[in-house]
Structure 1
Amino acid sequence: MTQTRMKLLAGAALAVLAPAAHAQTQAPPRQDNPAPKQGEDDIVVTGKAPPGSVIGDIPPENRLGQADIAAYGVGTVSELLDAIAEQTASAQGRDDEGPVVLVNGKRISGVNEVSDLPTESIVRVDILPEEVALKYGYDAQRKVVNIILRRRFEGRVANLAGGLATESQGENGSGDFTYTRIRDNDRVNIAGRAKSTASLLESERDLVPAAIAANGADDREYRTLKPATRSYGLNANVAHQLGTKTNLSVNLRGDYSTSDGLNGLPLGTSNFLSDDPLRQDSRTTTVGGGVTLNHDLNKRWRLSAVASYSHADTRRDTDRADAGLIGTDRASSLTDSGNASLLVNGKLLALPAGDAAISLRLGGDFSTLSTRSTLGWAATSGDSSRTNGGGQISLDLPLASRAKGVLPFLGKLTANLNGGVTQVSDYGTLGTFGYGLNWTPVTGLSLIAAVNEDRVAPTLAQRGDAVVITDNVRAYDYATGQTVTVSRISGGNPLLKADDRHVVKLGLTAKPWTKLNLTFTANYNNSRTENAILSIADGSAALEEAFPEHFERDAAGQLTSIDTRAVNIAREDREQLRWGINFTQVLRAPKRPTPPPGFRPPWMRDRPEGGRPNGETRYDRPPEGTDPEHRDGPPPGEDGDIVVNGRELRDPSGPGRPGGFDGPPDGFGPPPGGPPPEGFGPPPPGGPGGFGPPPPGGFRGGPGGPGGGGSDNGARLQFSLYHSVILKDEIVLREGLAPIDLMDGGTLGGTPRARHNVQLNTGVIDNGVGVRLSGSWKSAAEVTGTSPAGDLRFGALATFELRVFANLANRFRGKDWARGTRVSLSIANLLNTRQKVTDASGATPLAYQGAYLDPEGRTLLLSVRRIF
Structure 2
Amino acid sequence: MSLSYLALITGAALSASVAQEAPPPEAAAAAQPAGQAETDAEDEDVTTVEEVVVTGARLRGSVESDIPPEITLDPADIRATGATTIAELLEALEPQTRSGRGRGEGRPVLLVNGRRVSGPREVHSVPSEAIERVEILPEEVALELGYRADQRVINFILRERFRATTVQARAGASTAGGRYSGELDGNFLRLRGDERLILEAEVERATPLFEDERNIRREPGQTPYDLIGNVTGLPYGGEIDPALSLLAGGPVTVAAVPGFGAGGPFTLADFVETAGYTRTGDLGAWRSLLPETESVEVGGTYTRPLNDYVVATLNARLEGSRSESFLGLPGASLTLPSTNPNSPFTRDVLVWRYFDRPDAMRRNADTVSGRLGAAFTGDWDDWRWSLTGGYDVTRSDTETGRGVDANALQAALTAGDPSVDPFGPGAAALLGPGPRDTAQSLTQSGELDFVANGDLFSVPAGDVSASFRAGFNAVSLDSESVRSGLLTERELSRTQGGVQGNLNIPIASTRNEVLAGLGNLTLNLNAAYDELSDFGGLVTYGYGLNWRPNRQWSVIASVTDEEGAPSIQQLNDPVISTPNVQVFDFATGQTVEVTRIEGGNPGLTADNRRVQRLGVTWRPLGEADVTLSANYVRTTVDNPISSFPTITPALEAAFPERFIRDSGGRLISIDTRPVNYDRSQTQQLRWGINYSRPIRRERPTGEGGPRRRGEGGPQGPGAHQGPEGGDGPRPEWRGGGEGGRFRGGGGRGGFGRFGGNPREGRLTFALYHTWNLQNEVVVRPGLPTLDLLNGDAVGAGGGQSEHQAELQSGYYLNGLGARFTADWRSDTFVAGGAPGGAGDLYFSDLATANLSLFADLGARRAWVRQHPWLRGGRVSLEVRNLFDARRGVTDAAGVTPISYQPDLLDAEGRTVTLRFRKLIF
TM-score normalised over the length of structure 2: 0.80
Distance change >3 Å, CA 626–CA 493, structure 1 → 2: closer
Instruction: Show the counterpart of 2:901.
Output: 849
d(CA) in 2 for partners of 1:157, 1:350: 49
Distance change >3 Å, CA 847–CA 570, structure 1 → 2: same
d(CA) in 2 for partners of 1:49, 1:722: 30
Instruction: Show the counterpart of 1:678.
Output: none
d(CA) in 1 for partners of 2:507, 2:293: 56
Q: What is the one-letter code of the residue matched to 2:557?
A: A
Instruction: Show the counterpart of 1:415.
Output: 523
2:753 alignment partner, one of 703, 711, 714: 703
Where 2:487 maps in the other structure, the secondary structure is strand
1:154 aligns with 2:163: yes
Q: What is the one-letter code of the residue matched to 1:318?
A: T
Instruction: Show the counterpart of 1:713.
Output: 759
Instruction: Show the counterpart of 2:345.
Output: none
Contact 2:68 2:738 (C-alpha < 8 Å) held by counterparts: no
Moved more, 256-265 or 13-22: 13-22
Instruction: Show the counterpart of 1:726.
Output: 772
1:791 alignment partner, one of 840, 849, 873: 840
d(CA) in 1 for partners of 2:373, 2:512: 42
Q: What is the one-letter code of the residue matched to 1:226?
A: L
Instruction: Show the counterpart of 2:809.
Output: 762
Q: What is the one-letter code of the residue matched to 1:287?
A: G
Contact 1:273 1:324 (C-alpha < 8 Å) held by counterparts: no
Q: What is the one-letter code of the residue matched to 1:852?
A: L
Where 1:317 maps in the other structure, the secondary structure is strand
Aligned pairs for 1:606-755 within 5 A: 638-639=743-744, 666=746, 690=748, 694=749, 698=750, 703-705=753-755, 712-752=758-798, 753-755=800-802
1:281 aligns with 2:333: no
1:234 alignment partner, one of 292, 298, 302: 298
Per the TM alignment, residue 308 of structure 1 is displaced from its structure 2 partner at its CA by 1.1
Q: What is the one-letter code of the residue matched to 2:854?
A: F
d(CA) in 1 for partners of 2:32, 2:697: 28
Where 1:111 maps in the other structure, the secondary structure is coil
d(CA) in 2 for partners of 1:480, 1:825: 46
2:137 alignment partner, one of 128, 132, 139: 128
Distance change >3 Å, CA 8–CA 207, structure 1 → 2: farther
Unaligned runs of 5+ in 2: 44-51, 226-277, 334-350, 408-433, 700-711
d(CA) in 2 for partners of 1:387, 1:571: 28
Per the TM alignment, residue 8 of structure 1 is displaced from its structure 2 partner at its CA by 6.9
Q: What is the one-letter code of the residue matched to 1:203?
A: D
d(CA) in 1 for partners of 2:568, 2:877: 41
Aligned pairs for 1:408-487 within 5 A: 408-487=516-595
d(CA) in 2 for partners of 1:60, 1:77: 18
1:418-442 Cα shifts (integer Å, max 9, x gaps): 0010000001100100000000011
Q: What is the one-letter code of the residue matched to 1:80?
A: L
d(CA) in 2 for partners of 1:526, 1:855: 35
Instruction: Show the counterpart of 2:637.
Output: 529
1:587 aligns with 2:666: no
Per the TM alignment, residue 338 of structure 1 is displaced from its structure 2 partner at its CA by 1.1
Q: What is the one-letter code of the residue matched to 1:295?
A: G
Instruction: Show the counterpart of 2:123.
Output: 114
1:223 alignment partner, one of 283, 287, 290: 287
Q: What is the one-letter code of the residue matched to 1:174?
A: E
Instruction: Show the counterpart of 2:194.
Output: 185
Where 2:903 maps in the other structure, the secondary structure is helix
d(CA) in 2 for partners of 1:793, 1:420: 44
Instruction: Show the counterpart of 1:802.
Output: 851
Per the TM alignment, residue 469 of structure 1 is displaced from its structure 2 partner at its CA by 0.9
d(CA) in 2 for partners of 1:276, 1:590: 67
Contact 1:150 1:182 (C-alpha < 8 Å) held by counterparts: yes
Instruction: Show the counterpart of 2:274.
Output: none
Contact 1:590 1:715 (C-alpha < 8 Å) held by counterparts: no
Contact 2:207 2:292 (C-alpha < 8 Å) held by counterparts: yes
Where 1:384 maps in the other structure, the secondary structure is strand
Per the TM alignment, residue 266 of structure 1 is displaced from its structure 2 partner at its CA by 3.4
Distance change >3 Å, CA 118–CA 22, structure 1 → 2: farther
Q: What is the one-letter code of the residue matched to 1:73?
A: G
Aligned pairs for 1:775-790 within 5 A: 775-788=822-835, 789-790=838-839
Distance change >3 Å, CA 76–CA 24, structure 1 → 2: farther
1:570 aligns with 2:620: no
1:52-111 Cα shifts (integer Å, max 9, x gaps): 111221111100011111111211111110111110011011123310001111111222
Contact 1:215 1:271 (C-alpha < 8 Å) held by counterparts: no
Contact 1:240 1:249 (C-alpha < 8 Å) held by counterparts: yes
d(CA) in 1 for partners of 2:157, 2:626: 22
Distance change >3 Å, CA 590–CA 305, structure 1 → 2: farther
1:771 aligns with 2:818: yes
2:385 alignment partner, one of 297, 303, 306: 303
Contact 2:827 2:843 (C-alpha < 8 Å) held by counterparts: yes
Per the TM alignment, residue 521 of structure 1 is displaced from its structure 2 partner at its CA by 1.0
Instruction: Show the counterpart of 1:509.
Output: 617
Contact 1:173 1:195 (C-alpha < 8 Å) held by counterparts: yes
1:691-746 Cα shifts (integer Å, max 9, x gaps): xxx4xxx16xx7145xx9xx652232000111111100010000010100000111
d(CA) in 2 for partners of 1:481, 1:126: 50
Where 1:259 maps in the other structure, the secondary structure is strand
Contact 2:825 2:846 (C-alpha < 8 Å) held by counterparts: yes
1:80 aligns with 2:89: yes
Where 2:121 maps in the other structure, the secondary structure is helix
Unaligned runs of 5+ in 1: 36-42, 612-618, 640-654, 656-665, 667-688
d(CA) in 1 for partners of 2:672, 2:731: 65
Per the TM alignment, residue 488 of structure 1 is displaced from its structure 2 partner at its CA by 0.8
Where 2:142 maps in the other structure, the secondary structure is helix
Distance change >3 Å, CA 593–CA 621, structure 1 → 2: closer
Percent identity between the two aligned chains: 39
d(CA) in 1 for partners of 2:18, 2:855: 38
Per the TM alignment, residue 588 of structure 1 is displaced from its structure 2 partner at its CA by 1.7
1:60 alignment partner, one of 61, 69, 75: 69
1:243 alignment partner, one of 307, 312, 315: 307
Where 1:723 maps in the other structure, the secondary structure is strand
Contact 1:532 1:568 (C-alpha < 8 Å) held by counterparts: yes
Moved more, 271-280 or 842-851: 271-280
Distance change >3 Å, CA 603–CA 851, structure 1 → 2: closer
Q: What is the one-letter code of the residue matched to 1:703?
A: R
Contact 1:13 1:508 (C-alpha < 8 Å) held by counterparts: no
Moved more, 173-182 or 712-721: 712-721
Instruction: Show the counterpart of 1:818.
Output: 870
Where 2:124 maps in the other structure, the secondary structure is coil
Q: CA RMSD in A?
A: 3.1
Per the TM alignment, residue 286 of structure 1 is displaced from its structure 2 partner at its CA by 0.3
1:811-868 Cα shifts (integer Å, max 9, x gaps): 2243312100000000000001110001111100000000111001111000000001
d(CA) in 2 for partners of 1:407, 1:832: 57
Contact 2:118 2:375 (C-alpha < 8 Å) held by counterparts: yes
1:485-526 Cα shifts (integer Å, max 9, x gaps): 111111111110000111111011111344441101111111
Per the TM alignment, residue 593 of structure 1 is displaced from its structure 2 partner at its CA by 2.1
Per the TM alignment, residue 785 of structure 1 is displaced from its structure 2 partner at its CA by 4.4
Q: What is the one-letter code of the residue matched to 1:355?
A: D
1:777-820 Cα shifts (integer Å, max 9, x gaps): 00000112434414211000000000000011222243312100
d(CA) in 2 for partners of 1:196, 1:433: 46
d(CA) in 2 for partners of 1:852, 1:394: 48
